């Protein structure tokens, strides 16, 4: 049983902590943050051990009646691996501490590939992460790109792919702090960073992305135009996508016409926070024209990397050497069917 620490108890951190808590081959050793408000108090209610990232945070937490088990170094000493879920660029600063403490670590997509030297997507390169000291679970958008294109590649259908990403403006809970209204904000460069990021996991991919930030917060949406290696039927393409347990085919004609209706469905399914760990791809929208494939899907920016993170923990610690077995175990624990 491996002890896993979570640093940063925000949008991703709280979900990773809960997911670790559902596994039977790893144990949550504690969560560490600087906050002392309702967010960390929910971790207290869940009876997670709380650690403070700074002396100031320790004082503030104690003043709010939170029982603090120690500081970040104390948490790392009792852990076999740390999952860093802190905001962009803070994690890179923490890396020096992890290396000094000689502890394995996982970062997320806000950090650069070079920070770990390995980037992770469970269905694509699980084996290459076995027993490494560090990896980076790629971003929500990049995870979706790798899942879908890897499925097509496995079926020997993929020649090259070109995608347009409609990116949510900010995380829902932070809508009052930022984001955009009454405008759209295109990324300056083509390709946008997601295409090159996918190639950090699979250098053989021929993929180019462009992206625009749009004034909503529920999810991202992608439109893809893929050049196939040969002319195939729609059924053959769908069968390729069905080889991924983390792509959920949905029907526009069943009322799933928008990201809010899809979110409502996952809430009705009883998922925590209505989380959608899968890529929700419209089956009835998908079209094959000659050797070209067109499809669209929705990405839950708060949830899609959670199963990937659990698999990355197993790979780095060597708990499970078979990627397919880890994916199946994670899926079962999170209700991905």
Binding-site residues from annotation: 33, 301
Helix 140-154 to helix 194-201 angle (10° resolution) is: 60
Q: Which of these, 292, 294, 291, lies nearest to 283 by C-alpha position?
A: 294
Residues 6+ positions from 255 with CB-CB distance below 8 Å: 261
CA-to-CA separations, 22 to 8, 47, 83, in angstroms, rounded: 19, 14, 16
Where helices occur in 69-193 by DSSP H, the ranges are 72-77, 90-100, 122-125, 140-154
Integer-rounded Cα Rg, in Å, for the chain is 20
- 85 is annotated as an active-site residue: no
What is the full DSSP assignment across 186-221?
A: E-SSSS-THHHHHHHH-TT--EEEEEEE-S--S-EE
Burial of 202 (0-12, 13-18, 19+ CB in 10 A): middle
Distance in angstroms (rounded) separating the CA atoms of residues 16 and 37: 19
Q: Is the dihedral of CA 59, 60, 65, 70 positive or negative?
A: negative
Residues 6+ positions from 157 with CB-CB distance below 8 Å: 228, 229, 230, 232, 236, 237, 240, 293
Catalytic residue among 52, 85, 134, 140: 140
Provide the annotated active-site residues: 140
């Amino acid at each position: 049983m491996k002890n896993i620490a979570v640093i940063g108890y925000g949008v991703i951190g709280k979900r990773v902590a809960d997911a670790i808590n559902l596994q039977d081959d790893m144990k949550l050793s504690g969560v560490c943050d600087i906050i002392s408000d309702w967010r960390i108090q929910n971790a207290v209610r869940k009876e997670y051990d709380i650690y403070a990232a700074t002396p100031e945070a320790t004082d503030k937490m104690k003043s709010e009646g939170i029982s603090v088990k120690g500081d970040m170094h104390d948490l790392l000493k009792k852990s076999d691996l740390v999952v860093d879920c802190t905001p962009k660029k803070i994690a890179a600063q923490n890396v020096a501490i992890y290396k000094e403490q000689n502890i394995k670590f996982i970062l997320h997509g806000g950090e650069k590939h070079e920070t770990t030297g390995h980037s992770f997507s469970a269905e694509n390169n699980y084996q290459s992460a076995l027993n490494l000291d560090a990896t980076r679970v790629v971003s929500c958008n990049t995870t979706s790109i790798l899942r879908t294109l890897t499925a097509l590649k496995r079926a020997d259908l993929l020649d090259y792919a070109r995608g347009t990403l409609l990116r949510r403006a900010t995380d829902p809970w932070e809508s009052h702090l930022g984001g955009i209204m009454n405008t759209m904000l295109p990324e300056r460069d083509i390709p946008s960073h997601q295409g090159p990021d996918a190639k950090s996991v699979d250098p053989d991919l021929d993929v180019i992305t462009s992206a625009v930030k749009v004034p909503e917060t529920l999810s991202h949406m992608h439109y893809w135009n893929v050049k196939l290696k040969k002319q195939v039927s729609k059924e053959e393409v769908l069968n390729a996508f069905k080889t991924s347990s983390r792509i959920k085919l949905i029907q526009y004609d069943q009322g799933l016409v928008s990201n809010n209706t899809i979110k409502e469905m996952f809430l009705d399914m009883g998922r925590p926070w209505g989380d959608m760990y899968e890529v929700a791809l419209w089956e009835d929208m998908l079209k094959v024209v000659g050797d070209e494939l067109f499809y669209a899907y929705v990405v839950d920016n708060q949830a899609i990397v959670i199963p990937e993170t659990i698999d990355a923990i197993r790979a780095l610690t060597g708990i499970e050497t078979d990627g397919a077995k880890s994916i199946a175990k994670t899926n079962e624990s999170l209700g991905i069917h």
